[in-house]
Amino acid sequence: MKTSEIVCLGIESTAHTFSVGIATATVAEKTRGKVLANVIKQFTTKTGGIIPAEAAEHHVEVCDVAIKEALAAAAIKIRDVDIISFSQGPGIGHCLRIGAAAARTLAVVHKKPLVGVNHCISHLEIGKLLTAAKDPVLLYASGANTQVIAFEAGKYRIFGETLDQGVGNMLDAFARHIGLGFPGGPQVMKMAKGGKNYIELPYVVKGMDVSFGGILTNITRKYDNGSYSKEDLCYSLQETTFAMLVEVAERALAHTGKTELLLGGGVACNARLQEMCRIMCEERGAKLFVPERQFLVDNGAMIAWLGILEYLKGTRTPVERSAIKPYWRTDEA
């Protein structure tokens, strides 16, 4: 191991994305980090939905190429890598297993330490690396996950979360139902631009938590009844569910006294969600930080970066303890 510079190759494979990122840190009095590569391969379908076994098959197919492309983009060889990290959870078992197997193989063959990291926390840490945010509340809105997370009193805590599905999965399910492809979030966003009338939908915030199942059922029925346009439905779906997210994020800011809101997750790419967060932050004198798209969606760079942070804190994941953790909670990491 070089004394001052550490390089980590990180593998992400919690859901439909297989990604290999490479990050480096200069370890001195103050650790400084940088992303050297972020190769993202997404499994998509025309009709919507992810079949876990098919996504896993996709990951197997692109695995080799993604690793090679990442090393080439970083202009390094595998021997220059000091640590191998991987998303150990939470996520879809079929998909997690492919990334974990690839990471174990690299670690064993090339004799590098292995570090399993928590996917949700990596969204928070990459945001801190790449934006000016120092101690933010993260609104993490992705396909499978929806959580409001912050580091508080010595550990990562969840201040609010979905009680059922992630907001992205809900958008994807509705998009699929009305004949848009997967991923559906961007399609819903486009449709919503043409919406003119707000249609009342259930607004489901329970304490600090949110729930999307009932909203999905309700809007699906409304669509099936045929009396509303797709545009108005998509518009109303965004306005309602994003308002729920902004409400919980704002209360987490108020509760923690923090003054920075960071966005993470694929749904955070949504222009309307960003706008609503910006307005809320302005009104309460907080700052909003939005990493660029490649670091909002699932990506290997965030896994590589958290791999370095964990490694520096002493985390090691020997192969015999590297089993995937599909239900790993943010507040147990």
Residues that bind ligand AMP (CB under 6 A): 15, 17, 142-143, 168-169, 171-172, 183-186, 189, 265-267, 269-270, 297-298
Contacts of 53 (CB under 8 A, 6+ apart): 94
Nearer to Mg ion, 48 or 166 (CB): 166
Q: How far is the CB of 267 from ligand AMP (least distance, A)?
A: 4
Answer yes or no whether residue 17 interacts with Mg ion by CB under 5 A.
Answer: no
DSSP assignment string, 263-291: EESGGGG-HHHHHHHHHHHHHHT-EEE--
Lay out the site mask for Mg ion across 23-62 (x = CB under 5 A, - = otherwise): ----------------------------------------
Half-sphere exposure of 325 (CA within 13 A, CB side): 18
Q: How far is the CB of 120 from Mg ion (least distance, A)?
A: 7
Give the residues across from 209 on adjacent strands: 206
Nearest to 167 by CA among 231, 245, 92: 245
Q: How far is the CB of 305 from Mg ion (least distance, A)?
A: 14
User: First vs last Cα of the chain: how many Å apart?
Assistant: 26
CB 212 within 8 A of CB 241: yes
The angle at the Cα of 294, spanning 263 to 38, to the nearest 5 degrees, equals 130
Nearer to Mg ion, 269 or 288 (CB): 269
Nearer to Mg ion, 142 or 270 (CB): 142
Half-sphere exposure of 158 (CA within 13 A, CB side): 20
Answer yes or no whether residue 142 interacts with Mg ion by CB under 5 A.
Answer: yes
Q: How far is the CB of 17 from ligand AMP (least distance, A)?
A: 5
Residue 89 near which of Mg ion, ligand AMP, none (CB within 5-8 Å, type-dependent): none
Peptide bond into 183 cis (omega under 30): yes
Residue 33 near which of Mg ion, ligand AMP, none (CB within 5-8 Å, type-dependent): none
Nearer to ligand AMP, 43 or 311 (CB): 43
Q: How far is the CB of 91 from Mg ion (least distance, A)?
A: 8
Q: How far is the CB of 268 from ligand AMP (least distance, A)?
A: 8
Nearer to ligand AMP, 91 or 307 (CB): 91
Nearer to ligand AMP, 168 or 300 (CB): 168
Contacts of 222 (CB under 8 A, 6+ apart): 199, 228, 233
Nearer to ligand AMP, 13 or 317 (CB): 13
User: SS3 of 203, please?
Assistant: coil
Nearer to ligand AMP, 25 or 56 (CB): 56
Residue 187 near which of Mg ion, ligand AMP, none (CB within 5-8 Å, type-dependent): none
The 10 Å CB-count burial string (b at 16+, else e) for 111-132 is: ebbbbbbbbbbbbbbbbbbbbe
**Helix count (H) and strand count (E) of the chain?**
10, 12
CB 74 within 8 A of CB 36: yes
Lay out the site mask for Mg ion across 93-132 (x = CB under 5 A, - = otherwise): ----------------------------------------
Q: How far is the CB of 43 from Mg ion (least distance, A)?
A: 14
Tell me which residue has tokens 């006294």: 257
Q: How far is the CB of 321 from ligand AMP (least distance, A)?
A: 26
CB 7 within 8 A of CB 28: no
Among 39, 298, 299, 311, binds Mg ion (CB under 5 A): 298
Residue 172 near which of ligand AMP, Mg ion, none (CB within 5-8 Å, type-dependent): ligand AMP
- Which positions touch Mg ion (CB under 5 A)? 142, 298
